[in-house]
């Protein structure tokens, strides 16, 4: 069984809701630019998929398409904020999953999470392959327990891959009561820009 077949089987048997956006065109250009091959889970995902949507909440970034950004486009954008974090996934509330490429001395090569409720990077201690397995087989509800509200699915299902949910008061603020907060669908780049602006203002992650 090929690596891609193994991944497909894991997604199909997942206890979490997973929607696979298969790439309409498969070329090696994207993975060659990144420096990976289809022998790795990262290369296999990028080569075969535009995106992977988990629980209508986490978006694993693949090669993208003409309408939606792919992994190269997003990282080209994100480099103006972070040069040593390679983004591999996002979530609808502005969280970012990225491979530490030297921003932090510890857990280099592991997946870290920029949490929208703290605006701080935290190591998940996962290799990329373990991260994908966790999304398919892990307890996503537990991880996001404090950042979800009653009936969150009713809004999340309407969020496009390149959008996010702006929550106000902000998730990191003392005033936040998640159930009562205002929630608005916005372009994901706008959500990133807001979070990174406050990270800079507050001197977080320096």
> pLDDT digits over 105-134, tens only?
999 999 999 999 999 999 999 999 999 999
User: For 14, phi and psi rounded to 5 degrees?
Assistant: -65, 145
The structure's pTM equals 0.96
Q: What is the DSSP string of 17-61?
A: -EEEEE-SS--SHHHHHHT--TTSHHHHHHHHEEEEEETTTEEEE
User: For 175, phi and psi rounded to 5 degrees?
Assistant: -85, -10
Q: What is the pLDDT of residues 64-88, one digit of tens each?
A: 998 888 999 999 999 999 999 999 9
Domains of the chain from N-terminus onward: 3-202 (3.40.1580.10)
Helix axes 3-12, 41-48, angle to 10 degrees: 80
Find the distance separating the first CA and the last CA of the chain, reported in whole Å: 45
Map tokens 């510890």 to a residue: 106
Q: What is the pLDDT of residues 176-185, one digit of tens each?
A: 999 999 999 9
pLDDT score for 43: 97
- pLDDT confidence bin for 206, thresholds 50/70/90: low
Is 149's pLDDT higher than 90? yes
Is 204's pLDDT higher than 90? no
pLDDT score for 186: 99
Is 25's pLDDT higher than 90? no
pLDDT score for 67: 84
User: Is the N-terminal amide bond of 169 cis, ω within 30° of 0?
Assistant: yes
């Amino acid at each position: 069984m090929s690596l891609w077949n193994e991944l497909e089987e894991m997604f199909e048997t997942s206890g979490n809701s997973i929607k696979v956006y298969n790439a309409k065109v498969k070329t090696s250009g994207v993975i060659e630019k990144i420096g990976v091959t289809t022998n790795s889970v990262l290369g296999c995902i990028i080569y075969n998929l535009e995106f992977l949507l988990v629980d209508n909440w986490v978006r694993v970034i693949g090669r993208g398409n003409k309408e939606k950004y792919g992994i190269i486009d997003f990282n080209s954008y994100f480099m103006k904020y972070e040069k040593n974090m390679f983004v591999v996934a996002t979530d609808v509330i502005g969280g970012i999953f990225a491979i530490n490429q030297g921003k932090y001395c510890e857990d280099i090569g592991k997946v870290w999470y920029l949490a929208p409720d703290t605006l701080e990077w935290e190591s998940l201690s996962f290799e990329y392959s373990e991260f994908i397995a966790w999304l398919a087989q892990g307890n996503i509800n537990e991880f996001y327990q404090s950042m979800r509200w009653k009936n969150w699915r009713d809004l999340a299902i309407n969020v496009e891959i390149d959008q996010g949910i702006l929550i106000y008061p902000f998730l990191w603020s003392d005033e936040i009561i998640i159930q009562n907060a205002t929630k608005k669908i916005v372009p994901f780049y706008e959500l990133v820009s807001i979070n990174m602006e406050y990270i800079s203002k507050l001197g977080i992650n320096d």
